[in-house]
């Protein structure tokens, strides 16, 4: 045995899966491609299957920007234009098997407001509270932006948060951004886990 045994992480109706921004523009070939971004798709499909089997809700967030969003370089931001509403780049990656009962949360819709977190200016926290969700499992794109912000906001909202390392990838604008984000999430009180640890 190596290391300490972690506490079990059971999936139940009090847990929700948050699939963060698995959209074409964040995958290879997209406007703001995350290296290996498409590799999260089969892993997330396994998580989705597990959560469905336990009747636990699945939520998908999406970056959903107007054409003149302030995070875009032509409008003073740092990113190339990406995830523009109703364009192919904003569509969920083909092959991601979201359940038909999935709840979709759109963010970044106000041109003047950047929203990395699925909790910012959305109904996500009310949605979770109304269903008495206690723990959120969070994976997707990108580890160092929207996944991190979503995990940190979940903790701030009083939820337990589990960062799904095998279902996430970082942009790594600077080479270690993804690893630093993992540390930051854990320092804030989130747990880091993989499918093998949860499904066992
Ligand atoms: C994201 C950069 C800009 C993300 C969204 O989903 O991580 N990153 N907008
Ligand atoms: Zn964005």
Domain count, the chain: 1
> What is the residue with the minimal CA distance to atom 8 of ligand 1?
145
Q: State the residue range of the domain holding 116.
A: 15-199
Which of 59-68, 109-118, 191-200 shows the lowest per-residue confidence on average (mean pLDDT)?
191-200
Atom nearest to 79 CA in ligand 1 = 3
Atom nearest to 23 CA in ligand 1 = 6
Within a domain: residue 180?
yes
- CATH classification of the domain holding 147: 3.40.50.850
Within a domain: residue 7?
no
Average pLDDT over residues 82-109: 98
Within a domain: residue 153?
yes
Within a domain: residue 169?
yes
Within a domain: residue 36?
yes
146 labelled catalytic: yes
pLDDT at residue 21, rounded to an integer: 98
153 labelled catalytic: no
Instruction: Verify whether ligand 1 is closer than 6 Å to residue 63 (CB atom).
Output: yes
Within a domain: residue 2?
no
Share of the chain above pLDDT 90, in %: 94
pTM score, two decimals?
0.96
Within a domain: residue 10?
no
Within a domain: residue 140?
yes
Number of CB atoms found within 10 A of residue 42's CB = 12
């Amino acid at each position: 045995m190596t290391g300490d045994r972690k506490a079990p992480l059971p999936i139940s109706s009090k847990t929700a899966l948050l699939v963060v921004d698995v959209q074409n523009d964040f995958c290879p070939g997209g406007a703001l491609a995350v290296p290996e971004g498409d590799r999260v798709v089969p892993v997330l499909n396994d998580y989705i299957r597990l959560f469905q089997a336990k009747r636990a809700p699945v939520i998908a967030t999406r970056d959903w920007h107007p054409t003149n969003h302030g995070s875009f370089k032509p409008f003073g931001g740092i990113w190339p234009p990406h995830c523009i509403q109703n364009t192919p780049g904003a569509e969920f990656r083909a092959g991601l098997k979201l359940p038909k009962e999935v709840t979709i949360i759109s963010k970044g819709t106000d041109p003047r407001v950047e929203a990395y977190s699925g909790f910012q200016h959305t109904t996500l926290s009310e949605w979770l509270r109304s269903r008495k969700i206690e723990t959120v499992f969070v994976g997707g794109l990108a580890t160092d932006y929207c996944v991190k912000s979503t995990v940190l906001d979940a903790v701030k909202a009083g939820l337990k948060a589990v960062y799904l390392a095998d279902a996430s990838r970082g942009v790594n604008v600077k080479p270690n951004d993804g690893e630093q984000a993992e540390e930051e999430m854990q320092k804030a009180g989130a747990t880091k886990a993989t499918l093998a640890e949860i499904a066992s």
